[in-house]
Each structure stands twice: as structure tokens, then as C-alpha cells.
Structure 1
Amino acid sequence: MTVTLTDTVQPSTADLLTGVLLGADFRREHGFWQRLISTEPFRRPPGGTPEERLSLAYDRLRILNRSLDSGARLAADPRALAALHEWLGPVDPALTTVAGIHYSLFLGSLLDHDAGTDRDLSDFLGMRRIGTFLCTEVAHGNDAASLETTATYDRERDGFVLHTPNAGAQKFMPNTSPAGGPKTGLVAARLLADGTDHGVHLFLVPLTDDVQALPGVRVRRLPARMGSPVDHCLTSFDRLFVGRDALLGEGRVLGGDGGFSSTPADRRRRFLTSIGRVTPGRISMSACAAGSARATLAVAVRYGGHRMVSGGRGAGQIPVNAHRTHHGPLASAMATVFAMSLLHRRVLDRWERRTGEDRAEAERLVAVAKGWITWQARAVIVECRERCGAQALLENNGMTELVTGVEGAITAEGDNLAVHAKAAADMFFAAEPAPGDPSQDPADGTGNTPSGRTPGELADPRFLGRLLDAVEEIWFTRARKRALRAPHDDALVRWNAASGAALRGVEAHAYRQAAEGYTEALATLPEGDARERLAELQRLFALQWVARNSGDLLAAGHLTAQQVDELPEATEELIAAVAAHATELVESFALPDELLADWPIAGADYAEAYDDADGSWHRGQAKASPPAAR
């Protein structure tokens, strides 16, 4: 065929959907990580003990660092950090953990707090020392503002004495062992000077050489954690002296005469400043969960097309995906995985556009999305594991690490329930009923509203969007009513009365935000197959949530009895439509062939992974056994 200058190559449906999932500039944003995980050092090794896998994770960390043009630039870029987690998460959860700690929590905090200083970061940028972050204590996790590790100012030596006063104040789960090489940590400690508590600050503290903990530092490995092997430890300090330059941002806090500019009234704000990297960390946890869910779903869909089962009398062999009982859950998972990815992109964009005035709102959206995405990822990954049967329980098929790895994301950077509870507390009193819509008159159960108008069509995305708004409004209204009925002189009783409904409101808020992500993405697509595929996913995602809340929506007059009866059939039609294009949809995940090749069940020849060179089938027909004596 002759190609002229006017000919253009039209992007495929999968390519267009990749742009939706990963962003319009996905090649620049994600191309480096796609290529990195395709290289030999990141291919899946056979077996290995936990210690060997941990050593491999740190070896890979150094290879990654040598591949970067600037570790400082990565640490300063939340979008690049999110992409790191999105692609490394499915490959090596242990590597993802130590890389996220080093670049985001450690280097990122140094850059944030010491901007404009001349602190030498070359050891950390060159990976001669690996960075870690010590905030959580045995007795203080989600209430880390109450942590007990102290850093007492020693005026004579012009430095600080770090001390762990009791067992509950031991730093809990940082990767502080000598594994992987010498470690330096940022230690969150309560700064005490002249009898005054100046709140929580960060201190830069060398912890180990490549053999053992340094004097004044005690490091003990914790019991093995479920999932990928990381050297999580208990770390404590025995009156360890560090110089004044160990205090991050010391020029803004500690004067030349040893006086402090912070006051007790600023302690809460000081703590939030110290852990400011938690918000980008939550974005990264969402990215890791979304990437892991996409990878698991891709494997499940591919395996379901390769795994042949009996089709019934006279039907011969058919792929297990041909059964509605198999492809139905995967189609539902597909709608959820797209929603997770679109919400992650929406939140990342929102965080980058934040201003001083709306920062709190942006932080809350990040927290809500982190909880919802990681919870949804767990449900998707577990479903996909089950659809792949016993073979998915084997480590070489990749899913077991992701099943346990997502549990870490659910807990990291704030337990999901705790961050959603805080969001609920912020939102439920502020929640206001949505503006009235004439199409939302209460229905009489016959299919008509008192004003004679139908409340909308289930095939109309705008109507589905209003239903999602209504679910959120219903739950926050219940929360307000329950709080008002509780005794006003007991804040805990009032919160306990409202919290259940308020948490449901936060969940509904996340669903609405994800649905709006679908709407925004559809607006970027031209008419054609890609737009149709995404619209099917959008409607399936919304209908399944509406179905879960149909009783409330019916009672409030937002749905008719006839529509409630129609929901199952409408959902089944969309499941069939999505399942018919599942293979093409997983192609849009843009997973490298090398990654999928490392998971046997992702390939049509998966049975060859279990071949036996000494098996009888390689020696021809076995000799028949002599007949048994009669």
C-alpha cells in the first residue's frame, strides 16, 4: 500500500482507552517505568527465600536509582512517584515499599523542610545510604500526634538527645535493619527545651552501617509480616546525641542563641507539617492499588480465555470465560478497575491544582480516594484470584503477593477506616441537600411522580449521576439527624450516633467522584468504539451502585418500583457487553509482554510451566502392564 503525506494512522480502541486510564501524556509520564520493568533485572526470579527476595529488592532499588536522571526530581514530583508505585507495585511489592519510603517519605521530606539550605544529600542521592522514615510507634499509629519519643535540647553541646522512654514509644515497622546497606532515618520526635514541649519535629539520624546498628540505636526485626518481605523493625534510642543540624528546617526553628520560634499553641500545625509527605504517600498508595488490580484482572481475563472446560453434552471444550458465572464477576471488576484508575487520575490532577485556600478540601479528596481505591483493589484482586483457582495460589503466578500487598496499602499512610472517619467528621455537618431538581419529585410507585413526570431513564448517564448524588445526600442527612438526636453535651456519643451513616456517605462520595471521572474521560474521546466501550463501563459501574442502594432511592422517590424491577436486566445486558470486549479492554492496561510472560497462567501455554522432562509422555507410550493373574 502506498502511504501519502495525508494518510494518518488512527489510534486503536485500546490505545484510546490507554490514554484515558494513564493520561493524555502517558508515554512521557509512564514510558520510563514500563521500559524499566521490562528489563532483565526486574524479571520475576524463580523462588527464593524471604531474605533473598529482600536482598533482591534493595539490589533493584540501586538499579532503579542508577537509571534516574535525578533522584531529587523524582522525590519532588508526586506524579512521578505515583507512576513509580503504579508500575513497580505489581512487579515487586517489597521494592515498591522501600523505594516509596526512600524517595517520597525520606528524600521528599528533606527537600520540603530543608529548601534553601546547603545540606549535603549526595549520600542519599547516590544510594550510599538508604533513607527511611520513623514516625509510628508501638502505642501510637493513627494518633501519631501523641508520640512519645523525645529530642531534648542540650544547650551546652548545642544539639539534641534522642530517647525512647518506654516500650510503647519504640518506632514501629520502619525498614531500619542493615539489610540493603547503611540506613539513615528521619525520626519524628517531641522537641523539648527548657521545660517546654515544642511539638513534633523531624531529625536526621544515622541508624546503621552495613553490619549493625550504630551506638545509641537499637534495632530488632519484627516477626515476618504477611506479604512481601521487608525488613520491618522495632527501633529505639538510648540517649543518642545528634548535632543541631539534625533538626530539619532548623534555621526557621532554632535561633543562634538556642531559642525556639515555635510555641505550644503551634504543636498541632507543627506535627502536620512534619508529616506533610503523608498526602503524596496516599496518592502513591492509590496508584499502587490501581496498578496491582489492573495487572491481576489482566491475568484473570487471559487465563479465563485459555482454560478450557467441558461445554456440556455435544458442545466439546469451551473457555471458562464463556460461562456467565465466570465472566460476570470479571466484567464487574473491569468497571471497578476503570473507575479506580480514573478516580486516581482525577485526584492527582486535583492535588496538583490545589491552592492555599482549597488545600484542605484537596487533602480530604486524596484521603477518601486512597481508602476507596485500596478497598476496591482488595475486592478485585481477591475475586480475580478465585477465578483462577488453585493455580493462582502459587507464588510463581504472581497473585499471592498482590493479595497480601494490597493489605499493606490499606494500612499505610493512615488506616483506611481512620482516614475515612476523619473525612466523615469533616463532611457530615457541612453536607447540604442537593439543589432541587424538578425531575426528582417523589414517585408514587406507579412509574410517575405526583407532577406527572418520570424520574429519568436508567440508560441516561445524567440520571444515573443524579442518583449517585442522591445516595450521598441520603446518608449524610441520616448522619445529621442521628447527631441531632444524641445528647449535645457528649461529643463521643454524638459522633458514635452519626458515624455509621457518615461513613456510608463518604463511600457514596467516593463512588460519585469516580463516576464523575468517567464523565470527564468520556468527554475526551471521539465518537467510536472506544467511547462506546467506556460508556458501557460507566453505566455498569453506576447501575451496580444504584442497585445496592435501590431500596433507599425508591423510598426517597428517586426511583420507581418499575425501575427497581428493571435494574437486574439492565445490569445483565451491560455485563454481557463488557465481557464481550474484555480482552481488548485489558490490552488498554498497556502491561509489558515481559511482565505477563513471568506469570505462567497469563499465557496460553501455561500448562508447560508444569511439564516434567522425565514424564512418561516424553518417552512414548508406556508398556502395557501384564494381565493380572486369575
Structure 2
Amino acid sequence: MTVPANNADSPSVNDLLTAVLFGPNFRQEHGFWRRLLTTEPFRRPGGGTPDERLALSYHRLRILNNALDSGARVAADPRALSALHEWLGPVDPALTTVAGIHYNLFLGSLLDHDADTPRDLSDFLALRRVGTFLCTEVAHGNDAAAIETTATYDRERDGFVLHTPHAGAQKFMPNTSPAGGPKSGVVAARLLADGADHGVFLFLAPLTDAHRALPGVRVRRLPARMGSPVDHCLTSFDRCFVPRDALLSGQQGRIGDDGRFRSHVPNRRRRFLASIGRVTPGKLSMSACAVGSARVTLAIAVRYAGHRMISASRAARQVPVYAHRTHHGPLAGAMATVYAMSLLHRRALDRWEAAPDSDRDEAERLVAVAKGWITWQARDVIVECRERCGAQGLLENNGMTELLTGIEGAITAEGDNLAVHAKAAAEMLFSATEQETPPDEGPGDLADPAFLGRLCAAVEELWFARARERMSAAPPGDPLGRWNAASPAALRGVEAHAYRQADEAYAEAAARLPEGGAHARLAELRRLFALRWIDRNSGSLLAAGRLTADQAASLPDALEEAVAVVAEHTPSLVETFALPERLMSDWPIAGPRYADVYDDPEGPWHRGRRTGLRGRAAEFRQPVCRSRRRPLREKVAALGTKGVLLAYWGTASVLARWFEKPQVDADESVHPKA
């Protein structure tokens, strides 16, 4: 297991690559969360009903909160929010959901607004009340600017009346039930004052006590959602009154002491976007959750592939299933993709944090593109890894099915991926101008990373050029028809933009590494990543003259060579994920003795021992704490050769199989729950 060393004089290859994945401040940004998930309260539970698992998630939320210096500090730090999702997402998706809502969408919204008149947050910081966020409605999801819940200003009572006018305006899928304790919510509603609609704003409203919804609030549990249990509900308001300071005010608008509405933002849509600014760090959090989940799933699949033995071409010999190209090829490709996902996530986070106001829109678009691309890639990686584990991968105790359903939630959360990418496609299409074809730089070489990078850029250019052509050819006077003609190609252009950004992130990371093993490993991963994408688009590149016929013909061989190189190092690259062994031991197939989980103490293979030696034979086979298992040779020495042979009747073949079993070093042993 790799943790970046403090010794900067001689960092190992794995240390350097871990820093590539997590950034230079691994211990500061990730150390707390990495340690937290190895503590006993966060170990994977065995079974339990959905309600019991939900209660455990809220219990863990309080343990987490008590371990923090300040929940407000986490809410104000997008890197801390991302790290929370990156490490806890693969362990407890339900906890990650309620924690992300509480710290980012709820607390973050309160902290971002009301800077002039800060409110008392002590109940929320101490989790005496859990925060939630109510924006999406039954009839309004990606078009949240059109939500219909109203907040009408009442001059006489100097406050707002929250009301749900019809069934389609019910708030959809916030965790608003009394489960987990009393709840308050930040509610997106249309502010009506002085007979005018001023647009969508956020309002703080108490929702439940420890047992039921409060007067004026109606909460109904939705049907069970696929995946980890969260108390998603339908929430509505029946003329629920909240005081004037419930409005989260700011530059976008406020109600003054005179009862009049004022705003420095004249555009109602921009007021809405200012109110829901927390959606951007939410997108970063979804990307982080997807990256963490893909890493864990890939690590499990690679380790299992090394432990699972199958017959080789000669029946007497066995090899790990990973030895087969059909098995290790997809996992090598997944490794190149997971590195690309990690690097693109860091790139989007860095740019968004550092962007000046003039570049804010472009930085937020990169965050949105990265969120869609990363979560889609994570689903592909997780599905591939699950399949590589066969039936074992379908069992809940091996973790993959929960991560697969969890990633489906990330694909939809903070804006459905397709809608998010469609918005980015329109912005990039309408703001783009025809680019001049770069001067001919020669035929290029598929072994040259710079040439592969130019091809990645060319794919993006080709798809957007095709989208512009289709839009120009569409009949005028029909904006929707013109967009429909261009959108498929424009969406391919957004996908290509994500690939180009990931390839550039690879290049920047490689440039920061010294020559040596780590640089070579990263170059190999980058080459495989780029070649797979170029192979998918080889027809378009060939038609545009960006690839020669010989290069297109040689792509399959180049791809196979890249797969072979990466596959050789994939088992060791798993170590660069810095996943604690204590965490990995919670997924049985991640360990070499995964079959022990299925042992049956009453099975016939445990019977038939000679009566006089029953006790000693039982001692030999008795399950013990796996972290303290003695190597087989020590057990044999303790029993003596004669005792072993008597305990296992005529067991020469049995002993041979035992000696062939891989042994686990003391510091790599499986740690049981205390």
C-alpha cells in the first residue's frame, strides 16, 4: 500500500504517481478522509434493512461532523468537499449523499449569502438540525429556473408565505423525512412581491422535528431508489410562513426594511444562477465521487484477477485469469481511463478555483463538461470491472453493484449529464469561429505523444466543424430545427473536448515528473488513452487527411502494443491509488483468501477425521483472525508431519495444494472488524 513519503529526496515511483493522481498536497487534502474511512464506525456493515442502513448513514454523518474542526470550513473549501466525496463515496454512497447536501448545498448556500447579516448556524454546525436542499420539482428538473413553488412577501407579518400551487410543483427527491433527526431546508421558490415576480431565490425553512413534518409542510417518502438507501421524499408547502430573514439575500436581491425589493442584478435568470451557485462545487463533488468509485472498483477487479486461478493450456498447470489478454486488456484500458479521469478532475478544480471573473464562465463550463464525461466514464469502468469479476461481482458484499447504482445517481445529480453537455455544446458552438487548419507538420508518428495530442485536438475541431455545417444547411426561421440538426455532432464535439482536456492534463502532469520510472508509466498510460480515442475516430481523421492510410492501418497493432505495456504494470499501478489495506479487506474478492468467506464449518470436507485427532485437526482448520494467520509451514511445524498426515487421511495432494496457495505478508493481511 502506497502513501506518499515525506522524504522528498528519494520518492518512489508509486509515491510520484500518487502525487500525480491526488495533487502535491496529498496529506493535507486527503489524509483526514483516508484515515476516517478506516475507523471502525465506517467499516462496511453486514446486511441490515434499508432503514437500518439509512440510520447508520446519519449516525456516521454525526461521527464525521464531530471529527471536523468546523463544518463551515469544509463547506467553504471546494477541495475538502471534493476529497470527502472521493474517499467516502465508494464506502457509503448514502452517507456521501446526505453529507454533500448538508455541507455543500445547504451550509454552503447559507455561507455564500447574507455576508452583511450573518445568521446563527450553530444548530447546523452541531448537527442538531440536518440541512437539505429543495430545488428540483416533479415538473422541473434541468429547467429549474422555471420552478413554480412561490414565496409571497407578506408586508403585515414581514415575512414570506411558501406555497406549492399544484402537484407538479412538489419538491422532488430531497432527503426531508424525519430520518436522521430534525431537518431544515434551503428552498428554491419564486419571490412574489408588490405584484411582481422577481425570479427564483432561496429561503431557509424548518421542515421537520425528530418525528414528523412541521405545520405547513407535507413530506411523503418516494418509492425506494435503486442503490444505497436515502430518504428521498416529495415535499410541499401549504401557506407556510417564514420570517423576512429566511430569504438568502445578496447582490441578486433583498427585501429592505421598507418592504421593497431591490436587486443589483436586473436579469431574473442571472439572479437564479447567483442563488444556486453551489451547483458548481456540487458538480466537482460528483466528479470526485465517480473518480473514487472507479478507482476502488478497478483495484478490486485487478486484485481478484491475480487471485482467481484457472486451468492453463496444460491441465496440470494453473494461471491467474489476469494472464489472459481478453481479461487484462480491458483492465489496462480502464487504468488509462481512471488516470485520465483523475487528472481531468484536478484540472477542472484548479482552473475553477483560480479563474478570475473574466474567465469564470469558461471555468464553470469545464467543470460541467468534466462532470458529465467523468461520471459516464466511471460507469463504463465499473461495468467492465464488474463483468471481469463474474458472479462474484454481482454480490453486494463485494461492493461493485452498490457503486454501479451510486454512479447512476451521480450521472443525474447536479444536472443530468446530457442536459449539461447540451448546454456546453450550444455555448461552444455559438461562440466558436472557424479555425484555420494548422500548417502541415509532416506525417507524424503514432509513438509521438505530441502528434497524438494534435490528433485529439483535431477530433474536437472536426466534430464542431460538422455541427456548424449541419446548422448552416438547416432551414432558416426554425431555431429548434437548426439546433436539432447540429446537436448530435456538437455533443460529439463536447466529448472530444473532454478527451483533449484529459490528454493535455496528462501532458502537464508528465512535464512535472523527473525522467525515470514514474514518467515512463505515465507516458505509457497517456499513449494508451490517446490511441483508444484516436482509433474510435480514425475514419474521420483519415477522411480529413489528419491520418495517413498507413497510420490508420497500423493503429490496431499500436494499440495492442500499448495495452501489453500498460497491462504489465497495472497490478502495481493499483498501489498508486493509496487505498488502505484495511479498506480493501472489506471486499472479500480483493484478498487472496476470498474463498474462505464461503467456507462451511459443517461441510463434509470438515468431517471424517480420526476421533483421537479431531481436536488437533479442528485447530488446524479453525477460522482465526486473518491478520494473525501463521504461514502454512509454521502450522505444519506445530503439528508435526505425522500429525498432519494423520489429520488429513492420505492427503499428499491436499498438502500440495495448501503449499501452492499464495501466502499473505503480515503487513498485507486482511484486517477483520474488531
Task: Check whether TM > 0.5.
Answer: yes
Q: Among the aligned pairs, what percent are the same residue?
A: 75
Per-residue deviation, 1:315: 5.7
What is the distance in 1 between the residues matched to 2:228 and 2:34? 21
Deviations 1:177-203 (A, max 9, x none): 000000000000001012100111110
1:100 — aligned with what? 100
Alpha-carbon deviation of 1:303?
Answer: 0.2
Deviations 1:141-179 (A, max 9, x none): 000100000001111111111000000000000000000
Say whether residues 1:566 and 2:560 are aligned partners.
Answer: no
In the alignment, which residue of structure 2 is the partner of 1:353? 354
Q: Give, in whole Å, the separation in 2 of the partners of 1:438 and 1:262.
A: 51
Q: Could you tell me how far 1:538 is from its partner in structure 2?
A: 0.1
Preserved contact between residue 151 and residue 192 of structure 2 (Cα < 8 Å): yes
2:495 is aligned with 1:495: no
**8 Å CA contact 1:145, 1:271 repeated in 2:** yes
* 1:15-60 per-position Cα deviation (integer Å, ceiling 9, x unaligned): 1100000001111110000000010000011111111110000000
Query: Which segment drifts farther, 408-417 or 109-118?
Result: 109-118
Alignment of 1:50-61 (within 5 A): 50-61=50-61
Write the mapping of 1:49-448 to structure 2, written as runs, cut at 5 A.
49-249=49-249, 253-262=254-263, 265-314=266-315, 316-439=317-440
1:561-614 CA-to-partner distances (Å, cap 9, x unmatched) read: 111111111111111111111111000000011110000000000001111111
What residue number does 1:447 align with?
A: none
For residue 521 of structure 1, the aligned residue among 473, 486, 509 is 509
Structure 1 residues 12 and 155, CA, compared in 2 at 3 Å: closer, same or farther? same
Q: In structure 1, what residue type is equivalent to 2:30?
A: H
Inter-CA distance 60–481: structure 2 relative to 1 (3 Å threshold): same
Look up the match of 1:4.
none
Partner of 2:667: none
Name the aligned partner's letter for residue 176 of structure 1: T
Q: Give the corresponding residue for 1:465.
A: 453
Q: What code does the residue aligned with 1:413 have?
A: E
Aligned residue runs from structure 1 range 6-45, under 5 A? 10-45=10-45
Q: Say yes or no: does 1:537 pair with 2:525.
A: yes
The separation in 2 between residues aligned to 1:590 and 1:114, in whole angstroms, is 40
Give the superposition deviation at 1:618: 1.8
Preserved contact between residue 265 and residue 271 of structure 2 (Cα < 8 Å): no
Structure 1 residue 264 displacement after superposition: 9.6
Residues 434 and 13 of structure 1: is their aligned pair in 2 closer, same or farther, counting only changes over 3 Å?
A: farther
Gapped runs of 5+ residues in structure 2?
A: 1-6, 612-674
| RMSD over aligned Cα atoms | 1.5
Are the aligned partners of 1:439 and 1:456 in contact in 2 as well (CA < 8 Å)? no
Find the residue that maps to 2:431 and give its secondary structure: coil
Is the Cα contact below 8 Å between 2:115 and 2:250 reproduced in 1?
no
1:626 equivalent in structure 2: none
- TM-superposed CA distance for 1:488, in Å, is 2.2
Counting only pairs closer than 5 Å after superposition, residues 588-627 of structure 1 correspond to structure 2 as: 588-620=576-608
**Are the equivalent residues in 2 in contact too, given 1:432–1:473 (CA < 8 A)?**
no
**Residues 523 and 312 (structure 1), Cα distance of their counterparts in 2 relative to 1, 3 Å cut:** same
SS in 2 for 1:457: coil
**Residue of structure 2 equivalent to 1:449:** none
Q: TM-score, normalised by structure 1?
A: 0.94
CA apart distance, 1:620: 3.6
1:132 aligned counterpart, secondary structure: strand
CA gap of 1:8–1:92, structure 2 versus 1, over 3 A, is closer
- The structural deviation recorded for 1:118 is 3.1
TM superposition shift of 1:437: 3.2
Q: Using the alignment, how far apart are the partners of 1:333 and 1:621 within structure 2?
A: 48
Q: Which residue of 2 aligns with 1:444?
A: none
**What is the CA–CA distance in structure 1 between the aligned matches of 2:382 and 2:14, rounded to whole Å?**
22
**Post-superposition CA distance 1:232-288 (Å, at most 9, x none):** 000000001111111112795111110000399421111101111000100000000
How far, CA to CA, are the matches of 1:618 and 1:122 in structure 2?
59
Matched residue count: 604
Note if 1:581 corresponds to 2:569. yes
1:553 aligns with 541
Pairwise CA distance, 1:10: 1.9
The residue identity in structure 1 corresponding to 2:131 is G
Q: Which moved more, 1:109-118 or 1:427-436?
A: 427-436
Change (3 A) 1:524 1:263: closer
Q: TM-score, length-normalised on structure 2? A: 0.88
1:380 deviates by 0.2
Higher relative contact order (CA 8 A, sep 6+): 1
The Cα shift of 1:491 comes to 0.6
Paired residue type of 2:563? I
Residues 305 and 320 in structure 2, CA contact (< 8 A), matched pair in contact too? yes
Query: SS of 2:277's equivalent?
Result: coil
Report SS of the residue matched to 2:601: coil
For residues 557 and 582 of structure 1, the distance between their equivalents in structure 2, rounded to whole angstroms, comes to 35
How far apart are residue 489 of structure 1 and its match?
1.0
Match of 2:577, SS state, is coil
Deviations 1:382-431 (A, max 9, x none): 00000001011111111111010000000000000000000000001333
Provide the rounded CA distance (Å) in 2 between the counterparts of 1:269 and 1:136: 18
> Residue 26 and residue 569 in structure 1: after superposition, are their counterparts in 2 closer, same or farther (change >3 A)?
same
Q: Pick closer, same or farther for the CA change 1:430–1:104 going to 2, 3 Å.
A: same
Letter of the structure 1 residue corresponding to residue 596 of structure 2: E
Unaligned 5+ segments in structure 1 are: 1-6, 441-452, 624-630
Deviating more after overlay: 513-522 vs 312-321: 312-321
Structure 1 CA distance for aligned equivalents of residues 461 and 135 of structure 2: 37
1-structure distance, mates of 2:569, 2:580: 20
8 Å Cα contact 1:431-1:473 kept in structure 2: no
